[in-house]
Structure 1
Amino acid sequence: MDLQVDTDVQAPDALAILVAVMLMDFGREVWAVSAPGTWLMPVLTIYVWITAIGLVVVGLSTIDLGEHGWAIAAAVTGAIGSTVLIAMISLYGQPVTTDVGQFLHDATALAVSGQNPYQHRLGTNATTFPTPTIGGGTVTKYSYPAGAIVAMLPQYAVGLEGVRLTPTVLSVGLGVVMLAAADDEFALFAPATLLAGNLVTWPLNGLTDAIWIFALCLAAYWWSDRLLWSAVAYGFAASVEQIPWFIGPFLLVWLLRDRGGHAAGKWLAGGLATFTVVNLPFIIWSPEAWLTGALQPLFGSGSPPVHQGVGLSALTVFGAYPIAKWAQTALVAVIAAVALIVYYRRTEFRWAAWVSWMPILLVHYRSFATYFVAGLPLVAIAYFERGEYAA
């Protein structure tokens, strides 16, 4: 018998079932961290599993996801977000074990007390997972621009010193921004990107990437019709983490080619002004200390971190074919230049600008899996926005 499959109907259903599978894995993890004698986490486990099984039923039903997909995606996102927020509250006050989380805690606390975080050793008390350097030591200095410290200052200024709080709230905010951009038919793509690689739970484990990812998602969401706000959001993302620096040239080329010099100048001025305002107090405080910290991950000033990552560095990490750091840094420059030329000449790649760091950082000597998983919410927003503003 010849079965005729209507892919226009089947594709959203298949996505619903796929998200249900991912949600079950999320529910398994919630169950795994539930301690005996407590009631809250087991209840959350049940809540997540009911949502996952309900999504399976939806995927196998004839419910029109072209009409109801957004509401269903919002319900799934709500289940994920509320679970993570409650888990964050239950962990409040407990120390984080990653150096990046400990560094941000120490740096923000120092800034609140009137001390320059770029001039202090950080994370020396409770860092279970330090970053080793080629010289045999570990990274002990803040190695980012100052944006994350600025983002954390309000909560620390009122005495809420849990480094998980702001990043967790913003990780849930990612779901909100994606839903704002989403269409009905494939809206479930939004919670799928929160679940992939456990991105939504990163702040619970001491990772703070949600701060810059959230800002960059806003920049992508506002790109087509609120260019100045997009520039401000991009400028803030670039003031938090170095990864957004890689996409700036691609976005500028896009604007120059498709929207003219005035739009490009407006966006560039807004982004640079935001970056400067956020970082200027720390630059004035100690220009050399700020510059050393902000550039350290890219160029490895001082004793650089060891090779690590899922890209080309894997050959060195596993001893298959060691590659010098300088060679991989040079490759980054070559790949970036080639990618920019191709991007200028091929307009069909325009929306890929939002994740253009992925092929570039794949050859960097530090290419953690998190660098690439971090871009998945941007993939969702670019996908939705591309459909709405195809021209």
Structure 2
Amino acid sequence: MRDAPNHQVDALVSGLVVIAAARLLRVGFLHGTALSSFSLASVLPVLTTYLLGFALLVTAFYILGMPKPSWATLLWAKLSRYERLAAHVLRYSALAGLAVIVGKAIIVRAGLETFGSDGMLFTQYGTDLVLTGRNPYAVSMIEAYQRYHVSQDLATFRIDGSLVTALSYPAMSVLTYIPQAALHIPNLDLTTLIFFGVSFTLIIWSSPWSCAWIPLVLLSANSDLIAFSGGGVFDAIWLLPMLFAMFAAARQKVFVSGLLFGWACSAKQTPWLAAPFLIVFFVMERKSIVDGLRFAGGAALSFFAINAPFIVANPAAWFVGSLTPVAGGAPLVERGTGPILLNLAGITALPKEFFSVLGLMVLASCVVAYAAYYTRIRWLAWAAPVLALWCNYRSLQNYFVFYIPITYLGVLLQMREQPIIRRPFGRIAASWAIVSAIAVIVIGFKQRDATALAGNVQVSEAIDEDRLGASSRLIVDVRNDEPRPVSPVFALLHKTRVAPMIWRRVDGPQEISAHQISRFTIEAPEGFNGLVPFESGMHIRVYERGTEKRWSSVVEDFSRFDAHPLEHLLGNPKFTNWTQHGDRRVPYGWRDASFRGRDDVTVGLKENQDGVAIRIQNRATRPRKALALAGLEQPLRSGVNAITVDATTMGLTPCVALAKELPEFAVGFEMRVRSGQRIRTFLSSCSSIQIGGSKNDVRIFIPAQADTRKTYDVYFADLVKPELFSAFTRENHPFIVVFAGVRPGNVAREAAVIFHSIIGRYGALQSR
């Protein structure tokens, strides 16, 4: 026996489906940005995972109103006896949890001037220009890189090797951040996080009491939402007005909903593709085209009112900036986790137009399908563009992941509307879907090599100048079998970062003559993202400048080009190529690891299937607060014989430590406390490190002028050389170095060089 639908059960079941969809999109992203190999067997599971996730977003609407088993209704009736108490506990605890998540993200980033994307960098520079009375659309954003000393790792490249240097978003992407910029508060991510927090507060408050916890689980199932919002991706500033527009639509305020939607579209281009679905939504809600026109009119009025000052000041500049992907210039470099992965993996060489047409076909098909099945999925209109966005040649995760909370709110709003008329997925719709899929596959197969040039490219040598365990220069041979000369542009990506980067030509001709072979030396762009790790496979493309035509070559086993496999026992021993990582600066190849525990500091050895890792552990002084303090863990890529290891602590005072060859120095350590109080300095013995069967004492040295209010972060290296310290001084980051070595012959000599350098720069050190 089945009973009538229960709103609480409906919301709970559909909410769980949305959670599953969110998790699938996260899994697809993880595997799509770090492929196991450049093969169809690696790409297809990623595409399938995404498609399943999108299907579940639709399913969350489709199952609303379906009769539930009688036992579920009876069980819910018993639980509802405690509804009043449970409603308060669940809702307010969910709000408290959200406050902790967003508050922690804000605290970590407060005071740090960091940029997680070129979009946020341009926004920061744009606010500076607006506050000085200048038009950000009329100024080249290339100046932002110099002004804020930001690496071009963040840049968006075109296939001709140039960068996107125009403000690439509508006006609200700048205007939203004007208040914070006017107050001279660094890190515009704080405003984004506030928008994000308000958005999820609205969603939690709108949830039935039994589902108040679901938005928090969504954040856990897909951590990209909070990570992007605090990492330079500002989609949250269009998410909030989009939610307001949905609430206005639920109250039949069509024109107001249009105004709010126009606000969302003025922040970023992502919601633009929702417009046709929403027009159909309002037309079919009241069976009147007038409502559709009222919504469209409100959206257009709001959008152009916000952007009007910039349009009037310089229409051409605004148009080029706001419509960067289609407003002229060379196409942007392909990137994403959708079908474009087939190109990125070197499986196909489909042109950009194929993906653009595919996206438009999918968009049109989805609009028709939405109109046909409107009665079952009407609030899906607000999240319907996800599939079309995913099919584009640039399908970044943030383009569609922020539609997850919109989907969940749409489920809640649709749940409240009864009756729901069930309409099964008909034969005509199924036939259309199958025919469309076959047509796309056939066209794609015929066009799979449409951008390939006659000839080939081969890697001859890989150079690792800084012993990073990753190549910073390549020597490549390009054979041009075309009947014309070709001006080359080099782009590389690797399996662990499936995002092409343009490499600079250091040596070689400007053009490759017809039917000739030319040798080139190419160099990675500034920063670390473009480097190719030897442990990863790589894909090199050589574009004909200004076109999509290219030579392409995949090297699955790039480690065979490593000329010094035993010299860099640890990645990046010189600490070159620093980048922002959370609340600290981290060298290329390093990652954070958090530890909790008692009041002590330990240095130890950890073995796993990948080899050996040295760990230094910095524990909280107040375990009752369960403060997770930062440590770092770096795996060794070789055996444990004859290893010299540095553990380096970054901080605001210069220090150096040596091994047991200099026993006259005492042992000390600066402890980091995140409780907001002054740093508590203590001196204690550290555990010894056992490497290759030999125990080596750890000596840590602190200068006499050490400031107890400062904090330190922990890093590791494997060699002690003067070049290591030049990286610190170049970045203006004084430091502590902890050293434990097993090569007595080298330690004293290297230590003397380092001490001389440090004393000359910072003055005498005093042991404790």
Alignment of 1:202-281 (within 5 A): 202-225=228-251, 226-259=253-286, 260-281=288-309
Q: Look up the equivalent residue of 2:166 and give its one-letter code.
A: K
Q: Partner of 1:197 in structure 2?
A: 223
Q: Deviations over 1:42-100 (max 9, x none)?
A: xxxxxxxxxxxxxxxxxxxx9968644323322322222222232232xx242314211
Matches of 1:227 and 1:88 in 2, distance apart?
39
Q: Assess if the C-alpha contact under 8 Å between 1:172 and 1:200 holds in 2.
A: no
Q: Assess if the C-alpha contact under 8 Å between 1:150 and 1:278 holds in 2.
A: no
**Are residues 1:367 and 2:392 paired?**
no
Aligned-residue Cα RMSD (Å) equals 2.5
Q: 1:311 aligns with which of 327, 334, 338?
A: 338
Matches of 1:193 and 1:354 in 2, distance apart?
18
Alignment of 1:292-331 (within 5 A): 292-297=320-325, 299=326, 301-331=328-358
Residue 279 of structure 1: CA displacement?
Answer: 0.3
Return the structure number with greater relative CO, CA threshold 8 A, min gap 6: 1
> Partner of 2:209: helix, strand, or coil?
coil
Q: Deviations over 1:5-33 (max 9, x none)?
A: xx959x68x96xx89xx9xxxxxxxxxxx
Matches of 2:186 and 2:313 in 1, distance apart?
24
Aligned residues: 337
Residue 192 of structure 1: CA displacement?
Answer: 2.6
Q: Partner of 1:98 in structure 2?
A: 117
Residue 290 of structure 1: CA displacement?
Answer: 0.6
Residue 390 of structure 1: CA displacement?
Answer: 4.3
Q: Assess if the C-alpha contact under 8 Å between 1:134 and 1:305 holds in 2.
A: yes
Matches of 1:246 and 1:189 in 2, distance apart?
27
Matches of 1:390 and 1:300 in 2, distance apart?
45
**Are residues 1:77 and 2:98 paired?**
yes
Q: Deviations over 1:338-360 (max 9, x none)?
A: 21112112212211111111111
Residue 182 of structure 1: CA displacement?
Answer: 1.1
Residue 162 of structure 1: CA displacement?
Answer: 2.9
Residue 161 of structure 1: CA displacement?
Answer: 4.7
> Partner of 1:108: helix, strand, or coil?
helix
Residue 292 of structure 1: CA displacement?
Answer: 0.9
> Partner of 1:257: helix, strand, or coil?
helix
Q: Assess if the C-alpha contact under 8 Å between 2:193 and 2:229 holds in 1.
A: yes
Q: Assess if the C-alpha contact under 8 Å between 2:319 and 2:327 holds in 1.
A: no
Matches of 1:323 and 1:300 in 2, distance apart?
21
Residue 362 of structure 1: CA displacement?
Answer: 1.7
Matches of 2:398 and 2:387 in 1, distance apart?
14
- CA 243–334 in structure 1, closer or farther in 2 if over 3 Å, else same: same
> Partner of 2:316: helix, strand, or coil?
helix
Q: Assess if the C-alpha contact under 8 Å between 2:180 and 2:188 holds in 1.
A: no
Residue 190 of structure 1: CA displacement?
Answer: 1.5
Q: Partner of 1:35 in structure 2?
A: none
Matches of 1:262 and 1:255 in 2, distance apart?
9
Alignment of 1:89-238 (within 5 A): 89=110, 92-122=111-141, 123-125=144-146, 126-127=150-151, 128-195=153-220, 196-225=222-251, 226-238=253-265
* 5+ residue gaps, structure 1: 1-6, 23-61
Structure with the greater alpha carbon radius of gyration: 2
Residue 215 of structure 1: CA displacement?
Answer: 1.6
Q: Assess if the C-alpha contact under 8 Å between 2:91 and 2:205 holds in 1.
A: no
Q: Assess if the C-alpha contact under 8 Å between 1:361 and 1:367 holds in 2.
A: yes
Residue 365 of structure 1: CA displacement?
Answer: 0.5
Q: Look up the equivalent residue of 1:85 and give its one-letter code.
A: I
- After TM superposition, the structure 1 stretch with the greater mean CA deviation from structure 2, 178-187 or 282-291, is 178-187
Matches of 2:209 and 2:173 in 1, distance apart?
34
Q: Which has the higher strand share?
A: 2
Q: Assess if the C-alpha contact under 8 Å between 1:130 and 1:139 holds in 2.
A: yes
> Partner of 2:145: helix, strand, or coil?
coil
Q: Look up the equivalent residue of 2:164 and give its one-letter code.
A: V
Identity of paired residues, percent? 25
> Partner of 1:223: helix, strand, or coil?
helix
Q: Deviations over 1:302-343 (max 9, x none)?
A: 122111111111111111112111111112222111211121
Matches of 1:133 and 1:197 in 2, distance apart?
29
Q: Assess if the C-alpha contact under 8 Å between 1:296 and 1:304 holds in 2.
A: no
**Are residues 1:333 and 2:360 paired?**
yes
> Partner of 1:207: helix, strand, or coil?
coil
TM-score scaled by length of structure 2: 0.42
**Are residues 1:382 and 2:410 paired?**
yes
Matches of 1:319 and 1:351 in 2, distance apart?
39
> Partner of 1:143: helix, strand, or coil?
coil
Residue 253 of structure 1: CA displacement?
Answer: 0.7
Q: Look up the equivalent residue of 1:379 and give its one-letter code.
A: T
Q: Partner of 1:42 in structure 2?
A: none
Matches of 1:313 and 1:390 in 2, distance apart?
41
Q: Partner of 1:285 in structure 2?
A: 313
Residue 178 of structure 1: CA displacement?
Answer: 0.7
Residue 137 of structure 1: CA displacement?
Answer: 2.1
Q: Assess if the C-alpha contact under 8 Å between 1:131 and 1:305 holds in 2.
A: yes
Q: Assess if the C-alpha contact under 8 Å between 2:205 and 2:212 holds in 1.
A: no
Matches of 1:117 and 1:371 in 2, distance apart?
24
- CA 290–328 in structure 1, closer or farther in 2 if over 3 Å, else same: same
Q: Assess if the C-alpha contact under 8 Å between 2:102 and 2:193 holds in 1.
A: no
Matches of 2:412 and 2:214 in 1, distance apart?
9
**Are residues 1:87 and 2:108 paired?**
yes
Matches of 1:317 and 1:300 in 2, distance apart?
24
- CA 146–386 in structure 1, closer or farther in 2 if over 3 Å, else same: same
Residue 221 of structure 1: CA displacement?
Answer: 2.7
* 5+ residue gaps, structure 2: 1-7, 24-78, 420-768
> Partner of 1:141: helix, strand, or coil?
coil
Matches of 1:235 and 1:109 in 2, distance apart?
25
Q: Partner of 1:43 in structure 2?
A: none
Q: Look up the equivalent residue of 1:165 and give its one-letter code.
A: L
Matches of 2:232 and 2:154 in 1, distance apart?
10
Matches of 1:269 and 1:103 in 2, distance apart?
30
> Partner of 2:185: helix, strand, or coil?
coil
